Structure 1
Amino acid sequence: MPIDAAKALAAEPRTGEIAWSTKDVQLYHLGIGAGANPDRSSPATDPDELRYTLESRLHVLPSFATVAGSGSPGVIRGLSLPGVEVELAKVLHGGQTVEIHRPIPAEGTATVTRGLAALYDKGKAAILVLRTEVADADGPLWTDDSQIFVRGEGGFGGDRGPSSRLDAPAGEPDRIVERPVREDQALLYRLSGDWNPLHADPEFAGLAGFDKPILHGLCTYGITLKAVVDTLLGGDVTRVRSYTTRFAGVMFPGETLRIRMWRQEGGVRVAVSAVERDDAPVLADTIVRHS
């Protein structure tokens, strides 16, 4: 059987060292659209964008945790776990949660511990929950959970797991912003370490059931968090405590994201859709918790 649940869950977490530089942070920020001036009314040297792109005043968006020093995202790492042998074309990123324990420094080294936190049986699919815990000499920095959806690998008799679906937000959004996605956005974003050909190779995308390469879910994830921070948190990245989402649909390079935000006690509820496809859902059940 491609997934041996007992073997996968019994595997010990793996520990290693990671490092990142200001260049890595800048490249990530550019990969999620920093410096592009979404309102198109101010120059690229706007201070609000320079905090993401200029090393002398660099602030680190918490979603950088998903790529920091990893060389590959959770989707790819999940395929190298003991007891997991599946085809990459069957794999989709189902959801993502990052909990921030302290502001992420613009450069640093840290110890990373990675393992399988849970394995759920959804019948026609399996869900792997991959946990990454990162700490430096001063203590924990962040915890990162990736939910990996593997088509056709369920039915092994395991726990179905909890439902991640939330009730729809009540009332009209407090803010709505739109963010255009460049045609080459996926090609730029993948330089931060996600080399999955689904996001660059039309032939591979066809094997996965798509007409053309799709944008990385984690790219949309980063674009959305930046919009929330810039719009409702005064540009202060240190206010973010956690950020969770469910990837509800695909986004294609060249389309426009519509990001709806509802203020809630201690956080912001978010829904993201594709403007050109009649607001087709892209991110759902999304919450940014903040101070």
Structure 2
Amino acid sequence: MTIDRTKLLNWPFEDTVQTYDFKDVILYALSIGMGADPVDRQQLDYVYEKNLSVFPSFPVVLGHPGAWNADPASGIDRRQVVHGEQTIEIHQPFPVSATIRGVNRIKEVIDKGEGKGALVYVERKIYDESTGQLLATLNATSFCRADGGFGGPAVPVAKPHPVPEREPDYQVALHTLPQSALLYRLNVDYNPLHADPDVAGAAGFKQPILHGLCTFGVATHAILKAVCNYDASRLKKIAARFSSPVYPGETIVVDLWQDGDQVSFRASVPERAVKVLDNGYAELRSVQND
């Protein structure tokens, strides 16, 4: 299999039309650990229908195009693909229930060279199907570790967001449940790597691992808790690079640095002394514009 850059840039994605309701909103929030404290009313607003709010990172489970890179025509060895980066930009608040349309396209394919892999940049725009309003724009980078050297452009890769060298302004520790991956997979991603010990073992892991986007959601929780007073409308944009997987049941510690309406962050698992997210960046909406 060899990547054909022109073919990928013109990949025939079909729009994904998806209907969700309050149960899906609650399931997502529960799967990233919201509601761990049953008397924390701020967390309760994301897991109880009485005053339900949509969690800011919920868009990552909407409008997904499916396992398109499993198609042999893509030229990608899906077994060697890892999620490299994720960005969400929220344009409008998400309704508690709606039908959305996900429009996906491949923006660029970068050849890092033989033995160095390739980068595939995928954009997803999520629209409210009833109004046509753009709700969010997502950008994801897939690192195709086995697919470099196909002859594509080796253009410079954008530099990651720098995390300050000073001590963090905030530190938030959030626990994951042993069954976190089993819960999170019910949102959209049924990859057996997150459920089947045999599949995880064949991939070199001691047990099924947490979805990277679940870790991303936990980091979003830390941002809401530390600098947004749990107000989802404050969060305009969030981006991060994935560094290492998390095992369900581990504690994720998020260090945050705030500079006005910009927040830098990094996440780690102290039990294993590993970074799991790096070069994190969030942009806040100012209070007076809410």
Question: TM-score higher than 0.5 here?
Answer: yes
Aligned residue runs from structure 1 range 49-128, under 5 A? 49-68=43-62, 70=64, 72=66, 76-80=67-71, 83-123=73-113, 124-128=116-120
Q: State TM-score, norm by structure 2.
A: 0.90
Q: State TM-score, norm by structure 1.
A: 0.90
Tell me, in whole angstroms, the C-alpha distance in 2 between the residues paired with 1:86 and 1:219: 24
Q: Runs of 4 or more off by more than 6 Å in structure 1?
A: none
In structure 2, the residue matched to 1:257 is: 252
Point out where structure 2 has 5 or more consecutive residues left out of the alignment: 286-290
Secondary structure of 1:65's partner? helix
Tell me, in whole angstroms, the C-alpha distance in 1 between the residues paired with 2:202 and 2:151: 28
Aligned residue runs from structure 1 range 127-276, under 5 A? 127-136=119-128, 137=131, 139-160=133-154, 161-276=156-271
Note if contact 2:63-2:102 (Cα within 8 Å) is conserved in structure 1: no
Q: Give CA deviations for 1:168-211 in whole Å, capped at 9, x if unaligned.
A: 31311111111111111111111111111111122222332323
Q: Give CA deviations for 1:15-70 in whole Å, capped at 9, x if unaligned.
A: 24222111101000000001112xxxxxx032112101111211111210000254
Deviation at 1:165, TM superposition (A): 2.5
Two-structure CA RMSD over aligned residues (Å): 1.8
- Counting aligned pairs with the same residue, the percent is 36
In structure 1, the residue matched to 2:26 is: 26
Tell me, in whole angstroms, the C-alpha distance in 2 between the residues paired with 1:18 and 1:53: 21
Note if contact 2:4-2:74 (Cα within 8 Å) is conserved in structure 1: yes
Note if contact 2:91-2:135 (Cα within 8 Å) is conserved in structure 1: yes
* Cα 1:8/1:241, change in 2 over 3 Å: same
Tell me, in whole angstroms, the C-alpha distance in 1 between the residues paired with 2:19 and 2:202: 35
Q: Give CA deviations for 1:87-108 in whole Å, capped at 9, x if unaligned.
A: 4321211110011110111111
Secondary structure of 2:258's partner? strand
More deviation in 115-124 or 206-215?
206-215
Aligned residue identity for 2:229: G
Tell me, in whole angstroms, the C-alpha distance in 2 between the residues paired with 1:265 and 1:122: 36
Across the two proteins, how many residue pairs are aligned to each other? Answer: 280
Secondary structure of 2:50's partner? helix
Tell me, in whole angstroms, the C-alpha distance in 2 between the residues paired with 1:164 and 1:254: 32
Deviation at 1:237, TM superposition (A): 0.3
